[in-house]
Structure 1
Amino acid sequence: MNARLLFVLALALATGACSCSEPPATRPDDGGEGGSGGAGGGGGNLAPLCGELNEVEGRACSPTSCWIFPEPAPMEVRAGGFDSEGRLWIGGLGSAPLRLDEHGWSTPLEGLPSVGAVLGLGFREGEVWAVYGGRLLRFAGESWEEVDRGPFNFSPTALWVTPRAVWLAGHEVRRNDGTGWESLLVAGFGPFDALWGEGEVVFAAGADGAVFRWQDGSWENLPTGVRRTLRSIWGNSSNDVWFGGDGGTLLRWVEDTFHVYDLRSGASIVSIAGSGPDDVLALGYDASVRKPVLFHFDGRLWRPLPLPDGVEPRALWTSPEGVWMAGRGGGMAVWTGECFRVHPGEPRRVLAIEDDRWAVGERGLVLRLGEDGAEVVDAGVKVDLRAVAVFGNQVWIAGDGATLLRGGDQKFEPVYVPGNRNLLALDRSPHGLWIGADDGSIFLADGRSVVQTPSASVWPIVSIASVGDEAWASTQGGEVLRWDGSQWRYERSAYGRPLLFGTGPADLWLLGRGAGSLLEHYDGESWRIVPQNTSTTIHAIASNGNEVWVAHTPNVLHHFDGHGWTPRYLGWRARALAHDGQDLWVLAERHLIRWRSSRVEEVFASPSTLTALFADGGGVWVGTFDGSIGRLEAGGLVFDEPLVDGPIRAFDGAGGKLWAISADGYLLRRDESAWRAEQVPTQAELRALRAYGGGVLIGTSDGLLQHLDGDWYGRWSPVEEIEHLWVDDEGRAVVTGSDGSVHLFHVEEGLPSSTLRESFIVHALHATPDGRIWFGGEPGEDGGHLYRFDGEGVERIDLGVLASVGGAAPWSSGEALVTVGDSLRIVAPDGTTREVGRVPWSLDSISRRRGGRPALAAGSDGGILRLQTTEPAP
């Protein structure tokens, strides 16, 4: 009995899936079942092995970085192949596309756009093509260039390159033979998920079992008789083609006929490749167990083929030596037709790096790091490990299920922590080792015992930073806590999920990550946001004559002192701002906030939703959604009984008079003791209010009204549907319309008017005593969101503070190293930024290193990258 038959019998006995007696041969002309089969893919020890895949060993490097774990890179491969020079290319998630030549692995970044996933690769003489982040790219020479892909209203999902044309598939199929893109529509069919061809004959497959063949300049529909989506194609020739799809669908097109094969598996067949008609592999993904499964066709039968350990493939492709496969964590293998040559990968993600010496991650991953790379250390646990710190002469590791380990080299021992809480954060200090848990608990270990300290939070502790004798912690709920020597106290709120790091008590940083990232710096006295000059949405504007405050997304208050801007995190979304000559007042949904000396001084709660604000030397007033009006007294907000049913929309006052309008059409006026309501003679919606000439002007959805000495007058306005209104004592006015326009005109004189801005959705309008007019709102197509008119021209001001920061760490005193997309930057507290290199993928975290610059970082999809920045040493 030969070795191959022994293998088949062993597989049948081990899986219990194949019949012990060999089933009848399955011929192309009768379809057939392909033998009994299970899900396949399990039992990695049964995979036939025949050596290591040594030629793919090594690290993938770019000019400023090298992946050191896993090797060559932590890529989840979605496509691979060989170019016309015999160089291997792979692409997917986790790294920029990789190339292997006689010099080793590299990541060519020249011309490559920012981080994106490779969904397809194509090759022809002297060129490599890629579908990358929805773009179509071509690599020629040593650089990438983006290629126009036509007016697609979707991202392409498949790519095929022939000697004379480039093909893309998505909701339709497009072809470019060098003269431009041609849309190859097939009414009633699509989207398409797979392309394959021989010469200029191309097959496309997709939803509802659709298969089309392009031949001699036209499409031919090839009915399959199946209704499931087809996701993969490979052919031995254009007359012998395999198609795979959802639910284990597998078809063979041969002799102008489709034959259906039953794999007895529900896995979606995502890739097919072979070395000939008698050696074909089909790769499936079984969503029920979240694992790949592999099947082999020997010319007669399809059978499950166990995968080798360390290889979780997502893509197959052919070469003269066999079928290649690659997937998660850098694992690759070649099927020779008889056995696998293997380069095992590591799919477990790295979650934390400490001092460039140790790293931990998913499912018990512990790594000892050095100049030669990374060594996996067995710590004896299988839970996710989330933090690591060097304390004393030992390495401490924290993870799920109250896991706390200490040790080093090859041995770790458990340390008892009460309860079953997940431990998320560690940092060493002069007082001991701080340990943060997912229930808000913070412990202190001194090497002999672990003691729980009083904490002010119930949110998971996500980071701890000990700087000198001080200690800070942050929570998943956006809280910042501070150790006062005896207990943890709530210090402030922060944006998103904050990460703390720093070099000392006067150099502490906070990176808040949510829908974007917010970077802040603490100088020992106050927190200040690092400006980014990106787009944002303006909510409110106020001034005291010399200074201006602007509230904008995400809960930020920007202060202009006449010379420069300083942003600070407010913690509430401001609905309105007002200044009473002494303090700035901020109206949030259910809170009134007093802001003084660049910080929150007092907070007053409201039982009702707040909608309007007014403040001057005579007091602070608020309006509510239920139509009541409140005044700030010594004990807090005091509300009158509602006079109207609709929300209070706006206040204004002058000369000792105070007015308000409601959404249900009332003008309210405050006399010496109470508010009086008067119905406004219009069916239009009241939207804006300004005191003027002893009376008031009201902007409505149907124009401008004036109330003076008990009478009502209509006034001319450049727009009918008014959203915001401002007017000075001389009658110079500004209105914003629902059409997005901003107009300057004179109330008494009417025409002419001038347009300050068109197509801009305004949320806030304000004028300062020097005559300057400020207006802000939703960012326009150019990102503009705040403008200032000085009487002659309109100036744009950019106040955005959010950026796509992935990882951050101290660089030197007063500087932080951050990653924005695939860019490495050094940032100062005032926003001064300098580029120091580019990395082949976005980074999730940077090594926390004491007394030096960090050299390692963790990729957002896993792996460890060694940084080689262009910044010279000091």
Structure 2
Amino acid sequence: MTQAPNAERRQFFRQLLGGTSSQPHRAPWHRVPEVGAGDGDVLWSGWSGEGEVFVVGDEGMILRYRGGTGEGSQRWQHMEVPAKLPLHGIWGLRADDLIAVGWMGSILHYDGSSWQQVRGGIIDENGRFASCAENTPLFAIDGNAQGQAWAVGDDGIILHYDGNQWTAETAPTRINLRAVACAADGTVYAAGGEGTVLQRQLDGSWVQLDCPLGSGFQAILLLDDEILLAGGRYFVDPGGFRGELVRYRDGLFQALTFDQPMPRLRSLKAYKDGVLIVGDKGHLYYLKDLKLDRLESNMPHDLMDIIALPTGEALAVGDFGSIMTAADDFTAALAPPPGAVPRSAWTAMASPTDRQLWGIHEAADGTCYACGEAGTVLILKGDSWRALPAPSELSVHCVWDTGNGLFAAGQLGRIYRFDGQDWQLHHDMHLDLTILSMWGSGPDDLYAVGDEGLILHFDGLSWKRMSSGTQSALYSLWGWGKDRMLAVGDFGLVLRYNGKDWAEFNVGTENFLYSVWGPGLNDIYTVGLSGSLAHFNGQRWQLQPTRLRDDLLSVSGTSADNAYAVGTRGRILRLQAGQWISEPSGSDVGLRAVCATRNGAVYAVGDRGTILQREPTQPRTPLLDQP
């Protein structure tokens, strides 16, 4: 395409979003300039987020648009790919962690620097694509907030990605599948030819829904209380494909009929309080309250998919290298508008210190304490935090109330005891070792762990060092009684205590583990470096995908349905129905410790004296009440 003059180009990127306030969906659609795809290129799908757009198409084409501020950054770029096979779908939670699927079972992964082929495209000894199940073409992919994804394609193939590897799931059909969508509660839907609609149950099994219609479904959209499916069938009478929309509601399928005939429909997405639909021959429609409006596209080429943008605008991609939008400035539509930051359930509390806070603890009587640099020890009185006298000028990394005094420990292996008025040095190792965590079952049973495999035990009379069998640092300690404790540390180290000895307990990761917690011996979580998260179910540890770069530094809870993990850059995860969900903290500072209290309040502390409090958890919303 001919490059627009610079003045016009800059104006294009500065103008306000298209549409009118009265009928925002009525703005005419136009082609996005400077795409760089040719007339022979088919663009099948795309993804947007974090100010970027990725579009995939034939011959392994992946176009990337970065909505930066410099002239050079606002260009469509052709990305290098390992194979020139058509790519039909793309999904991901972040711009540096994307998955594309396509022809010959191709699955490509982008890690922020390059695309790598992880599955499919198998070549036989004759240099041709092998006739094998792994080469079954894939046409759609979708995933959930936990980083799991499902891809579907020919012959009823369904592949599941658990965050680490792909596995095939048993489908109740051999019909070609062309669409997949993940619901918030873990249910997954897939659709394809001959009216095929599948539902994945929470136990992982797939069942076929009883759809009496013979539509060839190409797209699926989950709405508040219903599901919309779009596609078409070939009819001899009109001599071509006829588009069809089907609604699934209250267990029944219903074909939606309209006065105007539609060509085959390819995609549908939520759009400006309604539904945007694209199809063959450049057709665009807006559906709301069962009223269908044809939109102006001025383009005769087939449109294959819709890419939703953060502001509610959208791109439509298709044949002949087409990328279209109704937004005057699609670059502005890549970023959320001012004030569109997701509301956080966490609020900042007034803090009496600007020192880094390392730990937080709830005593048996419900009193909460926090501790940190330069001898900082805080106590929560009502809704206010106030400072206690400092045990010393040394950093305090952990506190524990045994019911017979508050203990504080940290640098230089020193442990102090507070009697309600003054601090007294309770134990001094005379070593440059830092105590990092404490846990106890009562006044005569308190443990402390720290640098170089340090484990100390207080029996009510004196502190004694225990043999740990390691020189690695131990960062966290959690227990369920005198003979049931875990300590975690460097390089995936987990030690368990049986009342007599400490022994290693293999997790299966080399990442540092910074915290451990669990409501029972058969339900334990540990978190650590680069988003590491593992779960023990009573028989074995299983690593759980978080797809995070942030370090997770602390985990705490009161039950299997009330647990939280916090980490760097204000990262907070909440455990819900066995899945860890990321939720906004409203802060970008590092969070070092979290404490879920027995009365329902949750507190997180961290850098610069930050103290956050979470609102009480609201009742869960049923699946179809969520968009």
Give the structure-2-normalised TM-score: 0.42
Higher relative contact order by CA 8 Å / sep ≥ 6: 1 or 2? 2
Q: Give the structure with the larger helix fraction.
A: 2
TM-score, normalized by length of structure 1?
0.31
- In proportion to residue count, which structure has more strand? 1
